[in-house]
Amino acid sequence: MTKKILDPKRILIFNVNWLGDVLFSTPALKALRTKYPQAHIACILHPRTKEMLEGNPNVDEIIIFDEKEKDKHLFNKFRFISQLRKRKFDTVFLFHRSFTRLMLMTLAKIPNRIGYKAKKRSSLFLTKKIPLPKADIHRVDYFLNILRNYGIACESNEYEFFVDDASRKKAAEIFKNEQISASDFVAIINPGGNWLLKRWLPERFAQVANFLIDKFKAKIIISGSSKDIPLAKEIADKLTQKPVILCGRTSLKELGAIIQRCQLFISADSGPMHISAALKTPLIALFGPTSPRITGPIGTGKIKIIHKDIGCKIPCYEVNCAGNRCMQAISAQDCIKAIEEII
């Protein structure tokens, strides 16, 4: 086993691939910066997640690794390894439990390699093997646990998302163009998501949006990616007032700037939901097949989580579930009640 480097100078984190999970890693990044304030801290990310850490003061460098596209072929992987060798990192924390990623770090000759011990990993490649947690813990603590087992104090589990001035300017332009004033009550509904079974029913989103229009004279924004445009239009057709559809029109940073200007954010389990929690915008989080205990929003802002126990094991990975009963069980009135409690 390689001797522990007591004062690392160049630290690398091999991060995970999903928006929410990358946000969950930010308390760990903050703990690393607190422990090693003079170190150069870099983070390897999938290209779709880089905005989650851009502008984060605890990260000096973002390195992109795209194993499905740019770095798919063996030649490109070796080029990636060569680039890492030139950077001369002395320590890497592997937040992603992947044997391939561990091998890349080994071949990059990073002497200090810390991560969770897993069946497919050889003890020859991890220099510090962290035992897997025995119980399901929140993903924030899953990452912090690696550092704690390495002797690093971790004081906060609140994750962070940083919005830049250019994104705030873009948000202001959108509000001006859509005739949304500073005195308006603005609510965002985020109906999409990477997994269909996590989505709530469009007609229930519409019911809740109409309640907000009637109760608060709310301006409604529908957020999402370009692929969510048909879903947004389906909801818009059921509203008593024309909403602003932002699907595919903003970057994540710009969406964050818009969320900061709003009074309410309603979403199922998704990356934008966690951005809202990080920015402390009042949040209604709708959970079905995923577990709030493991991937629920964390923050000091106003958060209401709605999750119904229908007798299924949670988290559930039954991708062919026909009834989607867990999301069906959440009524529009459940969401409206949560809104009245939070606003």
Identify the CA nearest to 270 among candidates 280, 250, 284, 254. Answer: 284
Q: For the chain, list residues with pLDDT below 70.
A: 1-6, 68, 71-73, 75, 119-124
The answer to whether 96 and 16 have CB atoms below 8 angstroms apart is yes
* Every domain of the chain and the residues it spans: 10-148, 165-342
The model's pTM: 0.92
pLDDT of res. 78: 85
Question: Alpha helices, DSSP H only, in 181-283?
Answer: 202-216, 229-236, 252-260, 271-278
pLDDT of res. 73: 67
Does the bond joining 315 to the residue before it have cis omega, within 30 degrees of 0? yes
The top-level CATH class assigned to 10-148 is: alpha beta
The answer to whether 126 and 117 have CB atoms below 8 angstroms apart is yes
pLDDT of res. 70: 74
The top-level CATH class assigned to 165-342 is: alpha beta
Give the sheet arrangement for strand 219-222, strand by strand: 244-245, 219-222, 186-190, 264-268, 283-287, 303-307
C-alpha gyration radius of the chain: 21
pLDDT of res. 122: 57
pLDDT of res. 149: 94
Say if 10-148 and 165-342 have the same CATH topology.
yes
Question: Alpha helices, DSSP H only, in 11-138?
Answer: 19-24, 26-35, 74-87, 99-107
- Per residue in 43-78, pLDDT (tens digit) is 999 999 999 999 999 999 999 988 767 756 676 888
Question: What is the C-alpha to C-alpha distance for residues 235 and 222, in angstroms, rounded to an integer?
Answer: 9
